[in-house]
Structure 1
Amino acid sequence: MLDALTLVTGVAALLLAAWCGWAAFRDQPTKDWHFIGMAVVTLLTLVQLVVGIVLLAQGEKPEQGTTIFVAYLLGAFACVPAAGFMSLAERTRWGSVTVAAGGVVLAVLEVRLYDIWGG
């Protein structure tokens, strides 16, 4: 797949996790600027989803199977928005912890996507 996009998405996810982790450390809930950061990371995962589907449509195959690749793409795409919605329900520091955890999970999913594709 596109290695640079996977790397950028993983790094952005870790930066979002660190940012929200810092907010949680300071006993702050997620704020509007955190949601802007989540939107940027989600946009990166949307681009990755589209690129992955286009590559599959062009006939390229991941090393470890198409089904698991598509499942990980969809999971990566849904990870940060799900954490964002959960943080809206918990307007305390734990909302920030939830988004930080979502960022870490997304970074791990990116590493796994790289492995599945054959990196």
Structure 2
Amino acid sequence: MFIPLTVTLAVAALALAGWCGWAAYRDQPTKDWHFIGMAVVSLLALAQLVAGIVALAGGEHPAEGTAVFVAYLLAVVACLPVVGLISLTERTRWGSLTVVAGAVVLAVLQVRLHDIWGGGSGA
């Protein structure tokens, strides 16, 4: 797997979480700028999906199985669009907090993807 992209995606997701967390702290819903941030992070997630598929097509194999790896890649891609849609329907600070939760989950999924690929120190 392409580790710089994984780290970049995790950092971008945490930055988005902080940004939307600040909006929630100020009792604000998600705004257009937050959705642009979600789009940028989602594009990084799509790039990671493509990189993962290319790595699999190139003959590389994740340590914990291809099906699990692909499922996590798809979850990463779906994470922010789902919470973005929820935040559109909840136009209060709770919509911003939904994005915070989704972005933190996305960052945690990056750590797990790294482990699944074989980069972790597990057995």
Query: What range is the shorter-chain TM-score in?
Result: over 0.9
> Percent identity, aligned pairs only?
71
Please report how far the alpha carbon of residue 115 of structure 1 lies from its aligned counterpart in structure 2 after TM superposition.
0.5
Task: Look up the SS of the partner of 1:45 in the other structure.
Answer: helix
Computed over aligned residues only, the root mean square deviation of the Cα atoms, in angstroms, reads 0.4
Correspondence 1:95 to 2:105: no
- Work out the number of aligned pairs and report it: 119
Residue type matched to 2:65 in 1? G
- Deviation at residue 17 of structure 1 after TM alignment: 0.4
Amino acid at match of 2:56: L
How is 1:4-83 mapped onto 2 (pairs within 5 angstroms)? 4-83=4-83
Residue ranges of structure 2 left out of the alignment (5+ in a row) = none
TM-score by length of 2: 0.96
Give the Cα separation in 2 of the matches to 1:18 and 1:104.
9
Q: Which runs of 4+ in 1 moved over 6 A?
A: none
- Relative to the length of structure 1, the TM-score reads 0.99
3-state SS of 1:67 partner: helix
Deviation at 1:43, TM superposition (A): 0.2
1:7 partner letter: V
Q: What is the rounded CA distance, in whole Å, between the counterparts of 1:18 and 1:115 in structure 2?
A: 25
C-alpha distance in 2 between matches for 1:13 and 1:115 = 18
